[in-house]
Amino acid sequence: MESTSTAIIGLGTVGSGVAQVLLAHADRIAHRAGRQIELRRVIVRDLEKSRDFQLPRDLISSDIDTVVNDPSIPVVIQLIGGLEPARTIMLRLLESGKDVVTANKALLAEHGSELFDRARDVGRSIAFEASVGGGIPIITAIGQSLSANRIESLYGILNGTSNYIMTRMTEEGIGYEQALAEAQQRGYAESDPTLDVDGSDAAQKLAILAQLAYGARPSWQSIPRTGIEQLSTDDLQYTDQMGYRIKLLAIAQLLDDGLEMHVSPTLVRRGQPLAEVRNSENAVSVVSDVAGRIFFQGRGAGQMPTASAVVADLIDTVVGRSHLTFKQMGLGTSRQGPLKMKSPSEHSGRYYLRMSVVDEPGVMAEVAGILGTHQVSINSIIQRESAAVGTSHHIPLIIMTHKTTEGSLDTALAQLDKSENVLPSFVRMRVLD
Amino acid sequence: MESTSTAIIGLGTVGSGVAQVLLAHADRIAHRAGRQIELRRVIVRDLEKSRDFQLPRDLISSDIDTVVNDPSIPVVIQLIGGLEPARTIMLRLLESGKDVVTANKALLAEHGSELFDRARDVGRSIAFEASVGGGIPIITAIGQSLSANRIESLYGILNGTSNYIMTRMTEEGIGYEQALAEAQQRGYAESDPTLDVDGSDAAQKLAILAQLAYGARPSWQSIPRTGIEQLSTDDLQYTDQMGYRIKLLAIAQLLDDGLEMHVSPTLVRRGQPLAEVRNSENAVSVVSDVAGRIFFQGRGAGQMPTASAVVADLIDTVVGRSHLTFKQMGLGTSRQGPLKMKSPSEHSGRYYLRMSVVDEPGVMAEVAGILGTHQVSINSIIQRESAAVGTSHHIPLIIMTHKTTEGSLDTALAQLDKSENVLPSFVRMRVLD
């Protein structure tokens, strides 16, 4: 049986998982690839670091040139996180004639255009199934299985850390800080969880999906995003009683007048598949014009699900499929022409609003009047009893709006903010149609 | 731009959908394939039949030789249903050097081994994403995206007609006959719905998935199957109150001692993704050793979702991916060696039992005793009030068992059948673990 050599750059969580799969399941992988895949080299930063699992010592090196300059290694698994030196290493690998498999979503979201263009120029491929959704084959679905379709919208739960925290808050009634601490304890959240909980990680993944689905090249920083840090158990409970779950949704929608993208906590009606995605699971709902809606759910992160995607990409690259897919994918090309990105103020949707108002006659009419003046039409109002009876003459007021624009809502809320009868802290969240 | 010609054999529902997609979205498809795909010929049985949509007259022919003998058509979309002449046509197409795309699950379930072997012998490919799950890319997921994994189990809602009928029975409380009539009226069920409602269609699809996932070559007729024709609204309501939905599940499980496959109405706990699949939707839950559980849901049948899968396969074939996939897929080869199929009596699981028993002291003990003697251990018993109070001294008894084998249960029920205190009609259904 023929053999192809590969190397892993970066032996962190995912890299260790990939090495374990390649070594433990070599026969299975040879069967699927039609040839042996030999792990020839593993590049680590620190040769002395102790590791959970043992690799043959002669595989390990800290010198990346032993991979770059080895022409007998045609495909490399690049698993260093962050932007640099990952970007430079990717470019060096491509330019030395190697196909690359990667799971680095931050790198692709930030420098994807440059890397894809360079790969195309030098006739190599980049495979990146593992960069979004872990074990869920969403990149293959969009890039290959839905090739007859125009993707009309993507709705994703793309950050497992946030979803875990929100699930615990909803189901256990605990606060954000406690749920975060629990997530950190279980290894679902890093010691600095900022990029996970502020929506950045989800925005990076959404940018990759949008590039694939629409040929859009948005900077992921330009995607409006709201995180879950301010989420209160009050809202989780109110919305639960109303039949909704709150999920951190990453949404891209192709509309007549442009592409709308954002990441924010969003109310999803219970019973809808996205609403039922619990704990650290990820999910993507894809609506396209020929196939209709397709829903994917699975373990979106973690060592082994991500390793599964990496090894599938490796096999695809070794058998030649990645080359064909990458060539046709249109990534980094402008064949479809640029898409207009809708400005955030034009984004439209239904909203959940919660505010504290003075418990007096006429206040409800004032609030409704101000909203109405700014084209924010009310679908339903729920007036709650005060959480702290007797200590305040303010009561919580919950409003579900009809469809409106973000801009109209901004203006209306700014106006409400001036009212003496409304406390200045509003909660606003999108509601999935 | 280069161009590749194709032909459609069979202009039924799916064929018309594929033709419409190819003609209406030619630019999009050319963009994704990197070349024009020209629909050169459409073969119909009856040239005079009036059709919903108009095709250029010179495309249409009733002479299949105009495709078989045309060397300028390298890839053919074969959409004739049933076994013959579909099988003979497939063989002729392959032998004349054409790659084939098909949606014919009955043909692949019955003659898949022969067709795959022949394709391999003559160096052609067969693509069949559309044969299972309509627009859900489950064939690609198993055959490609999960290539690093051993598939441990597959749980599928693979027949939209049955799922629609069961959803209506559950949600509207109507009987089987009425729900079936409604499904027929809406075009979800054919005038002869037998293959859909008796589990055959789901068994055929399960056989295709099992062949892909396990290299198993079971005859689909050997897969034990129970349909939904005998399903009563009573059971739907009882199980609903107990927190379950009943779904017609097609299940394949790889166990230490062999492969277990069956199709039957199965209780699924609410909140689990499979339980929430409503109406004519399909879904598949795949559990594998590296990626964990991945869940797919979408429109599993119907003109356009199926056409989406057919056109994706067409593009895959034109760009060369299908060849690589088909070659590596191991379909029809015995490289992995044959798998032992577990005999139905060894199949194990938890069961829901409903029986009518005489409402007298000691009867419950008798029932529990008989079950216990045959290694059927009881998890819970619910005794219902009689549905017809005063007219009968029988009451319904509902038993949820612990895990047992189909064989033990058969013996126990045969024994119960002899008791004077138990009416001879039992309801038994599997419960998903």
* Residue A338 belongs to a domain: no
Q: CB B299 to CB A309 under 8 A?
A: no
Number of domain units in chain B: 3
Pair B270, B145 in one domain: yes
Lowest mean pLDDT among A123-132, A341-350, B70-79, B91-100: A341-350
Question: Could you tell me if B233 and B284 lie in one domain?
Answer: yes
Coil/strand/helix, residue B397: strand
The tens digit of pLDDT for each residue in B330-366 reads 665 444 556 788 888 889 899 999 999 998 888 889 9
Read off the CATH number of the domain in which A382 is found.
3.30.70.260
Dist CA A70 CA A334 (whole Å): 34
Largest Cα–Cα separation, chain B: 84
DSSP state of B424: S
What is the CATH number for B89?
3.40.50.720
pLDDT tier, A68 (very low <50, low <70, confident <90, very high otherwise): very high
Residue A2: the pLDDT is 93
pLDDT in tens, A258-273: 899 999 999 999 989 9
Q: Is residue B416 part of a domain?
A: yes
C-alpha distances out from residue A11 to A15, A53, A91, B20, B265, Å: 4, 11, 19, 50, 46
The pLDDT of residue B104 is 96
Domain shared by B50 and B122, yes or no: yes
Q: Which residues of B touch A321 (CB under 8 A)?
A: 144, 321, 324-325
Total residues belonging to chain A: 433
A149 touches chain B (CB under 8 A): yes
Return the pLDDT at B331. 62
- Pick among B28, B132, B139, B145 to test the A interface (most A CBs inside 10 A): B145
The whole-angstrom distance between residue A365's C-alpha and the CA centroid of its chain comes to: 40
Shortest CB distance from B31 goes to which of A25, A34, A335? A335
Higher pLDDT, B5 or B258: B5
In a domain, A334, yes or no: no
The C-alpha atoms of residue B292 and residue A305 are separated, in whole angstroms, by 7
From the list B130, B276, B282, B265, the residue with the least C-alpha distance to B199 is B265
CB < 8 Å from B in window 17-36 of A? 21, 25, 28-29, 31-34
> Do B250 and B159 belong together in one domain?
yes
Expressed in percent and rounded to 5, the helix, strand and coil fractions of chain A are: 40, 25, 35
pLDDT of residue B334: 45
Range of the domain at A147: 138-299
Annotated active-site residue in B105, B205, B247, B342 = B205
Domain with residue B155: its CATH number is: 3.30.360.10
Sheet hosting strand A99-102, strand order edge to edge: A60-61, A36-43, A3-9, A75-78, A99-102, A126-127
User: Is the domain of A388 the same as that of A403?
Assistant: yes
Query: A325 CB near a chain B CB, below 8 Å?
Result: yes
The mean predicted confidence, pLDDT, of chain B is 92
**Is residue B135, in this structure, part of any structural domain at all?**
no
Q: Give me the residue from B294, B305, B311 closest to A298, CB to CB.
A: B294
Domain shared by B92 and B56, yes or no: yes
Contact status, residue A325 vs residue A316, Cβ threshold 8 Å: yes
In a domain, B333, yes or no: no
- Write the Ramachandran bin of B189: left for phi over 0, alpha for psi from -120 to 50, otherwise beta: beta
CA of B35 vs chain A CAs: smallest distance (Å): 10
Residue A84 DSSP code: T
Q: How confident is the model at residue B322 (pLDDT cuts 50, 70, 90)?
A: very high
Domain membership of residue B383 (yes or no) is yes
Question: Of B135, B140, B276, which is closest to A291 when you measure between CB atoms?
Answer: B135
* Residue A79, phi then psi, degrees to nearest 5: -120, 20
Q: CB contacts < 8 Å between A and B, how many? A: 183
Distance (Å) of CA B221 to CA A264, B84, B199, B263? 50, 18, 10, 11
Q: Nearest residue of B to residue A33 by CA position?
A: B328
- Strands B3-9 and B75-78 come out as parallel
Max intra-chain CA distance, chain A: 84
**B326: chain A residues, CB-CB within 8 Å:** none
Element at A334 (helix H, strand E): none
For residues A42 and A56, give the distance between their C-alpha atoms in angstroms, rounded to a whole number.
10
Q: Is the pLDDT of residue B44 over 60?
A: yes
Question: Is there a domain that residue A393 lies in?
Answer: yes
Q: Do A20 and A110 fall within a single domain?
A: yes
Residue pair B387/B233 in contact (Cβ under 8 Å)? The answer is: no
Q: Give B150's contacts in chain A (Cβ within 8 Å).
A: 25, 28
Taking only the tens place, the pLDDT of each residue in B154-195 is 999 999 999 999 999 999 999 999 999 999 998 888 889 999
A292 shares its domain with A314: no
Disruptive mutation site among B2, B23, B144 for chain A (greatest number of A CBs within 10 Å): B144
In tens, the pLDDT along B370-404 reads 999 999 999 998 886 655 555 568 888 999 999 99
In-domain check, residue A340: no
ipTM: 0.94
Same domain, B146 and B123: no
Among the partner residues A299, A328, A336, nearest to B34 by beta-carbon distance: A328
pLDDT in tens, A92-140: 999 999 999 999 999 999 999 999 999 999 999 999 999 999 999 999 9
Shared-domain flag, residues A229 and A147:
yes
Q: Are residues B311 and B282 in the same domain?
A: no
- Both B148 and B283 in one domain: the answer is yes
Spot the catalytic one: A98, A105, A205, A342: A205
Distance in angstroms (rounded) separating the CA atoms of residues A269 and A246: 9
Reported as a single tens digit per residue, the pLDDT across A363-407 is 889 999 999 999 999 999 888 665 555 556 888 899 999 999 999
Residue B11 distance to chain A (closest CA, Å): 18
B418 catalytically annotated: no
The per-residue pLDDT for B392 is 62
Q: What angle do CA B38, B40, B46 make, to 5 degrees?
A: 140
Residue A234 to residue B258: CA distance in whole angstroms: 51
Closest CA to A237 of A331, A170, A137: A170
Dump pLDDT digits (tens) for B108-131: 999 999 999 999 999 999 999 999
How far apart (Å, rounded) are the C-alpha atoms in residues B275 and A90? 44
CA distances from A172 to A164, A186, A236, B11, B271 (A): 12, 16, 11, 56, 17
